[in-house]
A and B are shown apart, each in its own frame.
Chain A
Amino acid sequence: DIQMTQSPSSLSASVGDRVTITCRASQSISRYLNWYQQTPGKAPKLLIFAASSLQSGVPSRFSGSGSGTDFTLTISSLQPEDFATYYCQQSYSTPWTFGQGTKVEIK
């Protein structure tokens, strides 16, 4: 199985900060990488697919990059509604696997 490792596991940031989350795959997954946002008690929400394609309706402050084994999710200017847990997920091979999550908290 492909292991997905996110860093950091948590971070504290302020409104307006630029935030970067990293996801590393245990083997090359090309660009078959998705990012999700989950707020407490809610289902995950798709933000980015194919490493860098913004899902319809998602604010442009979210962006994704990377290929192969290393990927990043960037929030250019953190908003109050962005405090949540973020997950990466690979679709290169089954079983599709998720990272352990990165919790973004208010500083």
Chain B
Amino acid sequence: QLQLQESGPGLVKPSETLSLTCTVSGGSISSKTYYWGWIRQPPGKGLEWIGSIYYTGSTYYNRSLKSRVTISGDTSKNQFSLKLSSVTAADTAVYYCARIYYYGSGSQEWTFDSWGQGTLVTVSS
């Protein structure tokens, strides 16, 4: 059974870089059927897609965060990672990693079909 587990510091200082890793078990990030991605949720608020990575290394980022975000993958460890630079209090959120399933034949048939439990990252000095 697929499991995703986020890990990383729960507290980051303003202006520093947030770094999180998602470890995948029960499935491979090298699979051609899936993308892998990050989504965040500020306390008491809604969901925001941050970005995604494919096994080829291709990445797609939310343009609202693009200048600060880097997503990378390590197939040898079956992990993918998120780095968000120059953080502020507005980046305080629960960060989820997720598998993105391609269910169709076109270019838009994507859905987040499996999620990690999430990890709270607080930005504060």
Contacts and interface: CB of A to CB of B under 8 A. Distances in A.
A53 B101 CA distance: 14
A43 B96 contact: yes
Interface residues of A, number: 26
B109 A91 contact: yes
A98 B48 contact: yes
A43 B111 contact: no
Interface size class of B (residues with CB under 8 A): 20 to 34
A69 interface: no
A44 B108 contact: no
A49 B110 CA distance: 8
A96 B110 contact: yes
A74 to B, nearest CB: 19
B104 A50 contact: yes
Interface of A: 30, 32, 34, 36, 42-46, 49-50, 53, 55, 87, 89, 91-101
